[in-house]
Chains A and B, each alone.
Chain A
Amino acid sequence: MQKVMEQSPQSATGTRPPPSSLGKVGLSRLNDIGPTLVVVAILALAMQLGSYVLPPFVMPAPLTILAATWEILSTQMSHIGVTALRLFVAVVFAMTVGVLLGVVMGVIPRVRPYLQALVIIDTGIPALSWMLLAIFWFSEPEIRIFFILSVILIPFYALNIYDAIRALPRDWVDMIESFRPHRWQVLRYLVAPHIVPAIITTTKAVIGYAIRMAIFAELVASAIGIGSRMSLAQSMFRIDLVLGWTLILVIFNLGLQALINASEKLLLKWRPETKVR
């Protein structure tokens, strides 16, 4: 048998290149968060200057906002937990149903036009309409919020997964069909792994929107959760609390994005990162 003459793109010996040094990793992270810190510092400075010339109920000083944030964190964590739980349940449900709808649209041509029409009609209905309808239809606040978030998020998953299946390379389908698989085997070995990046991308894209919708839904349809607390703070003219809740929501969103990015790195470790010069 002849020796392998080809070499892998990574190295001639087959060993992988050494990982980056700790110093380089640290520097890279600093490069990533550096601009964010600069923007935060500029905003804090602008708010501080604004607090000198504007009344406290318009622009409180950053330290006042931090004090309000601490007040929230030390007394109202349960509301953050409730919102997080509502969001988690609704996103997981919307992801499950949306992915199923997308897969059905992708692999069953007979059903596709009907589901596609349903999903597209859904995307055309404003979020506010769903909120008002939920208030009419359901008396239980949890069901209202779950319903609102689900009907808003499901189409994003369904359409993106359908698009991902449409983009499945014909070559891969021919390859797997050359083994004469059962239909579920095509789904398991080809379709399911292929749509994982689309699920992650969709989650990254909708999570910020989902948080905003959850807060808005809580504002109109519930007495507990961050949205209802923000409404209460507004009615008490506590702008420091409103801004404190806002700060918490920004951090909450960044935390979720970081969690999704970590999941992406774990689930898509097979995908090389391409850097464009």
Chain B
Amino acid sequence: MISPTDTIIELRGVTKSFGTNRVADNLDLLVQRREIVALLGQTGAGKSTVLNMVMGNIPADSGTVRVAGHDPYNEFIKLRGKMAVSFQTDRLLPWRTAVENAELGLLILGKPTAEAREIATTWLARVNLAGAENRYVHELSGGMRQRVSLARALCVDPELVLLDESFSQLDHVTSMALRADFAKLVREFGKTCLFVTHRIDDALEMADRILVLKPGAGVGLELVMTPEMRADSATVHELHDRIAGTMEGSEAGQPDLARA
């Protein structure tokens, strides 16, 4: 049982509709501190809606959404510095260099310029971009841009990192390298991460826990991943098939807890 103090994200009985389309129905979701949780689901399953509610961009129709004890929509400013987001596209500002993009969140949070620059440079080195600090966005490849985007999110030392399909637009090799680096950094620095993806591989590689959302029906499958499970290719294949089956609708009903 998760104690309230360990919980950083808490959704209870959350319902959300867009017009007649109900994307979340009585959804319960808890994320513990220092946990990496993957939200998987087909298009329209509601994973981006959940992420947007956690980010505070949209309110829930009913139910409770809490992030670090605050309502992210109505207490938007109280979560300043507590969470950071990396998006599907890098969203770097073209008039800023790599290091200037990375330090943006720090400057917004009021860090002195010199200190912000030092922290951003350190984080760029951590995501393997040492030497590329002064390049403009158009001088960086897609993978490098996404690394800057991740550095920008991690720079602000947030309690919670949200990823919205952050690796989905990269080629397979770059995506693999980047997600491995990212998961290592998140664990090393004790961050909590909720990430949305439609790629099962991303979830199996990175997550401590995988939640598969079914359109309008909440969590269709919940899996807990361990390093041992990740290391066993037969287990990974089996889990991949189960997740794929749930996403395609062959496995309905109550959440299936496949805890190790």
Q: Please give the residue numbers on chain A whose beta carbons come within 8 Å of chain B beta carbons, in ascending order.
A: 1-10, 14, 16, 171-172, 174-181, 185, 189-190, 193-194, 196, 268-272
Contacts and interface: CB of A to CB of B under 8 A. Distances in A.
Nearest to B76: A180
Contacts of A194: 95
A6 B143 CA distance: 6
Q: Which of A1, A4, A268 counts the most B-chain CB atoms under 10 A from its CB?
A: A4
A271 B128 CA distance: 25
Contact of A176 (B104, B131, B142): B104
Nearest to A2: B177
Interface in B157-176: 173-174
B131 A14 contact: yes
Interface string B135-153: 1111111111001000000
Nearest to B180: A2
Contact of A270 (B80, B95, B142): B95
B91 interface: yes
9 closest residue pairs by CB, A with B:
A6-B143, A180-B80, A175-B91, A178-B85, A4-B128, A6-B141, A272-B138, A179-B108, A270-B95
B168 to A, nearest CB: 15
A171 B91 contact: yes
A6 B144 contact: yes
Q: Which of A174, A180, A185, A190 counts the most B-chain CB atoms under 10 A from its CB?
A: A180
B229 interface: no
Contacts of B180: 2
Main secondary structure of the interface of A (DSSP, over half): loop
Interface residues of B, number: 46
A189 B144 contact: no
B141 A180 contact: no
B143 A5 contact: yes
B95 A193 contact: yes
Contacts of B184: 1
A175 B87 CA distance: 8
Contacts, number: 96
A270 B128 contact: no
A24 B28 CA distance: 66
B156 A179 contact: yes
B252 interface: no
Nearest to A269: B136
Interface string B113-136: 000000000000010110110011
A175 B137 CA distance: 16
B203 interface: no
Q: Which of B77, B104, B107, B108 counts the most A-chain CB atoms under 10 A from its CB?
A: B108
A271 B94 contact: yes
12 contacts: A1-B126, A1-B181, A2-B177, A9-B141, A171-B87, A171-B89, A174-B57, A179-B80, A180-B79, A180-B81, A270-B94, A270-B97
Nearest to A15: B131
Given A1-B184, A8-B135, A179 B141 contact: no
B55 interface: yes
Contacts of A175: 85, 87, 91
Given A8-B135, A176-B108, A2 B141 contact: no
A16 B84 CA distance: 32
